[in-house]
């Protein structure tokens, strides 16, 4: 069985994966992937559990989910856990990402989106234990992401979320997914600066950045140009990032999503962040 260090190194080392796109199981989208995307420049993010029969085998893959809420007092059923990790293995995912959240989008009580954690004495240790158990059982590298926070749950300072995320990342050797729209929505909701929240993660390994999709509040949504400018800030602060994933919003039309992918890909062709640099 691989050690924590070996699993973490699989995420933070190696060549950059490039620009990530969501997996949509439709003939039209598959045609777009095969005709317009480059396996040496793009990778596919597969939300699990889902139908993975048609996921292209010639692209690198990562897995993502919102069905294993790491901060919740209760875990989902064993079947859901097994389904997620077994599918991650089937697609040979470089890593699987989940949120530091409660409730998630699994069966039972839910609100249709991830909720920021409610702080309790055992929160950090519980999350670390859970991630370690998943890695020991299934041997798949793990990365962790914060969702947006719109409520303070009884006076919790929003900065504590980012401090907690960094502590978990360092203590458990778990790299981080930095979601730009989530961070921006949180900063706006609590009258903080975007850069202030980012600075709290310095010293932790950022493996992946999310752009594109937003949270559930219209107040926190940003334009593509704003998101792009914030991405530049993130890459300057965290240059070791291996992948930049263009997230698919819940209400985003496939045509609009494909156009966003085209624009992001075009801009990166002439950016400083070189995907196929031999030094990466």
Cα-to-chain-centroid distance, residue 43: 14
Q: Is 100 a domain residue?
A: yes
Per-residue pLDDT tens for 69-83? 898 888 888 999 999
Q: How many domains does the chain have?
A: 1
Phi, psi of 41, deg, nearest 5: -125, -25
Q: Is 278 a domain residue?
A: no
For residue 217, what pLDDT is reported? 47
Determine the Cα–Cα distance for residues 242 and 13; give it in Å rounded to an integer: 8
Residues 124 and 168 sit within 8 Å (Cβ to Cβ): yes
Per-residue pLDDT tens for 217-263? 455 566 778 888 999 999 999 988 999 999 988 788 899 899 999 99
Determine the Cα–Cα distance for residues 15 and 124; give it in Å rounded to an integer: 31
Asked if residue 35 has pLDDT above 70, the reply is yes
For 196-221, b/e burial (b = at least 16 CB within 10 A) is ebbebbeebbbbbbbbbbbbbeeebb
- pLDDT category at 280 given cuts 50, 70, 90 is very low
Range with the poorest average pLDDT among 80-84, 109-113, 161-165: 109-113
Q: Is 276 a domain residue?
A: no
Asked if residue 214 has pLDDT above 70, the reply is no
Determine the Cα–Cα distance for residues 208 and 199; give it in Å rounded to an integer: 16
Q: What number of CA atoms fall less than 13 Å from residue 26's CA on the CB side? A: 9
Q: Is 245 a domain residue?
A: yes
* Positive/negative CA dihedral, 279, 4, 80, 153: negative
Q: Is 279 a domain residue?
A: no
Cα-to-chain-centroid distance, residue 242: 12
Q: Is 242 a domain residue?
A: yes
The Cβ of residue 93 has, within 10 Å, a number of other Cβ atoms equal to 23
Per-residue pLDDT tens for 225-238? 888 899 999 999 99
pTM above threshold 0.95: no
The residue range of the domain holding 247 is: 4-268
% of residues, the chain, pLDDT over 90: 57
For residue 68, give every residue at least 6 positions away whose Cβ sits within 8 Å of its Cβ, in sequence order, or none.
75, 76, 80, 81, 84, 98, 104, 106, 134
Q: Is 128 a domain residue?
A: yes
For residue 278, what pLDDT is reported? 44
Alpha helices (H) in 13-148, listed in sequence order: 27-36, 78-90, 123-138
Asked if residue 216 has pLDDT above 50, the reply is no
Among residues 252, 257, 206, the alpha carbon closest in space to that of 233 is found at 206
Mean pLDDT (the chain) is: 86
For residue 240, give both structure tokens: 């070791």
Highest mean pLDDT among 3-12, 74-83, 102-111, 269-278: 74-83
Determine the Cα–Cα distance for residues 91 and 56; give it in Å rounded to an integer: 9
Q: Is 273 a domain residue?
A: no
CATH of the domain at 72: 3.20.20.150
């Amino acid at each position: 069985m691989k050690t924590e260090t070996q699993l973490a190194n699989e995420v933070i080392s190696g060549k950059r994966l490039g620009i990530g796109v969501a997996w949509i199981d439709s003939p039209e989208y598959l045609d777009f992937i095969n005709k317009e995307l480059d396996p040496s420049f793009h990778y596919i993010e597969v939300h699990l559990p889902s139908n993975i029969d048609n996921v292209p085998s010639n692209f690198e893959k990562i897995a993502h989910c919102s069905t294993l809420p790491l901060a919740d007092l209760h875990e989902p059923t064993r079947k859901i856990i097994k389904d997620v990790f077994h599918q991650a293995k089937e697609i040979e995912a470089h890593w699987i990402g989940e949120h530091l959240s409660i409730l998630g989008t699994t069966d039972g009580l839910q609100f249709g989106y991830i909720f920021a954690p409610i702080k309790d004495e055992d929160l950090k240790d519980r999350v670390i234990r859970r991630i370690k158990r998943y890695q020991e059982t299934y041997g798949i590298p793990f990365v962790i992401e914060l969702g947006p926070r719109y409520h303070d749950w009884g006076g919790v300072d929003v900065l504590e979320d980012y401090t907690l995320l960094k502590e978990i990342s360092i203590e458990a050797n778990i790299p981080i997914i930095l979601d730009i729209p989530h961070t921006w929505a949180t900063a706006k909701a609590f009258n903080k600066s975007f850069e202030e929240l980012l600075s709290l993660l310095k010293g932790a390994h950022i493996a992946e950045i999310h752009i594109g999709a937003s949270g559930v509040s219209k107040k926190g949504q940003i334009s593509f140009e704003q998101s792009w400018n914030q991405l530049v800030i993130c890459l300057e602060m965290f240059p070791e990032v291996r992948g930049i994933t263009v997230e698919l919003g819940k209400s985003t039309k496939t045509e609009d999503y494909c156009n966003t992918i085209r624009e992001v890909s075009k801009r990166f062709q002439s950016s400083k962040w070189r995907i196929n640099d031999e030094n990466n």
